[in-house]
Amino acid sequence: MWQIEEELRNAGFTCICGVDEAGRGPLAGPVYAAAVILHPGAEISGLNDSKKLTEKKRESLYEEIARSAVSFAISSASHKEIDELNILNATYLAMNRAIGSLSVTPSIALIDGNRNSGIICNSKCVVGGDGKSASIAAASILAKVSRDRYMLKMAEEYPQYFFEKHKGYGTKLHYEKLSEYGPSNIHRETFLKKVKNVDKHKS
C-alpha cells in the first residue's frame, strides 16, 4: 500500500496527499471528498478500500486516521451543485475544496480513478487507488464515513425515504419511496430524469 508513495518520494515529492470521493452514484445528497497526508510508512492496521470494510471497521479507522494524519480535510459539493455542474465537475469541486483546506500544501495529490483534469494542484491518477495507495485508502474511508453520517442525519429529517438503509443509492426500496412520495429537497434532479413514476411535485 506504500509503493506508490515511496516511488514518488524517491522522485522528490516530499508531501504526498491522497484524495478520494464518496457518493458519486446516489440519487440524493452531496458528493463528499477527503484529502489526507499521512506520515511516511504510517502503520494503520486494516487500511484498505472503504468499500471492502465493515461499517464498524471504517468508523474505527476514521478515528485513527484523523488522530494520526499530518493533515486531513473533508469537503462536499451539494446536490444543487451537482445539478448545476454535473457530477464529474461537482466531484472535482469537492476534491479541490478538501485539498485547499489542508493545513499543509501537498507537492502532489494522488487521485483515485482515471480523471484529474479538474484538480487545482499537481496530481496523478491511480486507477483502483483505494486498494493500492495507503493515502488514497485513508481518504476513501474519511469520505465514506462522513457522507454516511450526513445521510443518517437526513434519514431523521426525511424518514419516509429510509436513507439510513440505502444512503441515497438507487435501491429498490429507494425507488419505491420516490414513487410514493416524490423527491425530497436533497434529491438530485438531474439523476431523477430517467426515473419513471416519480412525481416531481409531491414534495
Strand order in the sheet with 71-77: 71-77, 31-37, 16-22, 108-112, 123-126
pLDDT tens sequence for the chain (203 residues): 889 999 999 999 999 999 999 999 999 999 999 999 999 988 888 888 788 889 999 999 999 999 999 999 999 999 999 999 999 999 999 999 999 999 999 999 999 999 999 999 999 999 999 899 999 999 999 999 999 999 999 999 999 999 999 999 999 999 999 999 999 999 999 999 867 556 554 44
Sign of CA dihedral 73, 79, 80, 85: positive
pTM confidence score = 0.93
The CATH class given to the 3-149 domain equals: alpha beta
What is the rounded distance in angstroms from the CA atom of residue 175 to the CA atom of residue 165? 13
Query: What cell does 81 get?
Result: 451543485
Query: What cell does 103 get?
Result: 493545513
Which sequence spans correspond to the domains of the chain?
3-149, 157-192
